[in-house]
Amino acid sequence: MNGLKQELGLAQGVGLLSTSLLGTGVFAVPALAALVAGDDSLWAWPVLILLVFPIAIGFAALGRHYPSAGGAAHFVGMAFGPHMARVTGWLFLSVIPVGLPAALQIATGFWQALFGWSGSELLLVELATLLVIWLLGTRGAGSSANLQTIIAVLIVALIVAIWWRGGIAPTEIPWPSPAEVDAGNLFDALAVMFWCFVGLEAFAHLASEFRDPERDFPRALLIGLLVAGAVYWGGTVAVLHFHAYGEGRAAAASLPGIVVDLFGQHALWIACIIGYLACFASVNIYTQSFARLVWSQAQQLPQSRLGRLSSRQAPVNALSAVVGCCLLCTVAIYLLDLPLDVLIVYANGIFILIYLLCMLAGCRLLQGRSRLMAIVGCVLCLGLLLMVGWKSLYALGMLAALWILLPKQALVRQ
């Protein structure tokens, strides 16, 4: 019994995963995909979903048979021992100083679009966002799930409203025939679009908080993946239909621009609020997942305050540590005016490496078709590392450093 409250149902799980996958991408990636591949990007989404499905099934099977707040670190530990579990956990946590502050900056960009804020005003919005995430986290996963389910509904409603008001009919969708698809364009689009489906590893940390993890966790993961894919495809259709993309045009402004054209300037409020909430949802699930990983790792340390739960069975101390770290990094990045773009690319390599480690664990722990999907997932992850190129050396170097520097002796459990 891990102590966390088991309160999540299927609908809440779908809401959590779909919003974590949509995040900032739903406003920016359809335009980027259209810019890279044009009409061919309509085929890229179903191809990407087919490629990600083996990885998703691998995560679903691991979460079903080995539910734990430790998520990826727990799966890897079950397969390769406690030292590798700690290495994987710290590898995941190494994203906090860069990834979360970067996502916060993207989220506050919608407030800048509405009010023209900049500098310290946006910093205050980032800190207020962290405070709300902390307050949500103190109430347990159920509160976050309920809020993010509402956000998922709002995002879907926005895409549906664009299709309805814009008069987009299925017969007008510019599907190219398979023979007309340019393979180079397709691969370029896939390289951009893959990052929309980073989030499966964060969702794995919540597996043990489902009321029926064996039944509902894999269903929520696969349904959430399909919902997110359908929303991305629908957004791409809208961007292509209204030609809301091009060089020199901000990708994140594509869908808000369509909303303004269709519904008037006053509708910019609605688009920006939904955009901010989508970003908030992504930051929230990662923060809650990091907190659960810290709590899980702290179970191995006698008398650790980070390993304690609140009266609501929430890892509040671990959450406070994660939020505090993010707060300090956010302020430091603001004061030093650090460029984040390159660092985020390096962080993406870490996510792919974590996926690869989980699929390797699946090859060892799973049986039957689930094991076959894990093997396919390994091949796909290796291909993605090659796609990242030399920048993947950052993630591989981090893995090697953690393997060498972290103590190898087994820690005493409480």
CB atoms within 10 A of CB 408: 11
CATH number reported for the structural domain that contains residue 287 in this entry: 1.20.1740.10
Statement: residue 413 has pLDDT above 60: no
With beta carbons less than 8 A apart as the criterion, state whether 7 and 211 touch.
yes
CA distance to 10, 139, 150, 212, 287, per residue, from 146 (Å):
11, 12, 7, 17, 16
Question: Residue 343's pLDDT is what?
Answer: 60
Residue 74 has pLDDT above 50, yes or no: yes
Model pLDDT for residues 38-62, shown as the tens digit of each residue: 899 899 999 888 888 898 999 999 9
**pLDDT confidence band for 144 (50 / 70 / 90):** confident
Residue 4 lies inside a defined structural domain of this protein: no
Q: Is residue 225 in some structural domain?
A: yes
**pLDDT over 90 for what percent of the chain?**
39
21 in a domain, yes or no? yes
Which pLDDT band holds residue 183 (cuts at 50, 70, 90)?
Answer: confident
pLDDT of 308-348, one tens digit each? 988 888 899 999 999 999 999 999 989 988 765 556 667 77
Instruction: Name the band, by pLDDT with cuts 50, 70 and 90, for residue 300.
Output: confident
Which residue pairs from 70-73 have beta carbons closer than 8 angstroms and sit at least 24 positions apart in sequence?
70/205, 70/292, 70/293, 70/296, 70/297, 71/201, 71/202, 71/204, 71/205, 71/207, 71/289, 71/292, 71/293, 71/296, 72/201, 72/204, 72/205, 72/354, 72/357, 72/358, 73/293, 73/296, 73/297
- Flag whether 159 is in a domain: yes
Q: Is the pLDDT of residue 272 over 60?
A: yes
Mean pLDDT of 153-160: 93
Does residue 240 lie within any of the structural domains?
yes
Q: 207: closest CA among 414, 16, 413?
A: 16
Structure-token pair, residue 84? 């590798």
- What percent of the chain has a predicted confidence (pLDDT) above 70? 94
| Residue 81 Rama label (left phi>0; alpha psi -120 to 50; beta) | left
| Inside any domain, residue 181 | yes
* Residue 219 confidence (pLDDT): 93
Task: Give the pair of three-digit tokens for residue 329.
Answer: 């990094």
pLDDT for residue 138 is more than 60: yes
Q: Per the domain annotation, does 413 fall within a domain?
A: no
- pLDDT, residue 409, reads 57
Domain span at residue 116?
10-405
Joined together, the tokens standing for residue 409 give 């002796």
**What end-to-end distance do the CA atoms of the chain give, in Å?**
14
Among the listed ranges 160-164, 198-202, 204-208, which one has the minimum average pLDDT value? 198-202
411 found inside a domain: no
Number of domains the chain is built from: 1
Q: pLDDT at position 5, please?
A: 80
Res 53: pLDDT: 87
CA distances to 65, 74, 144, 260, 392 from 214, rounded to whole Å, are: 7, 16, 21, 44, 34
Specify whether the backbone of 392 is left (phi greater than 0), alpha (psi in -120 to 50) or beta: alpha
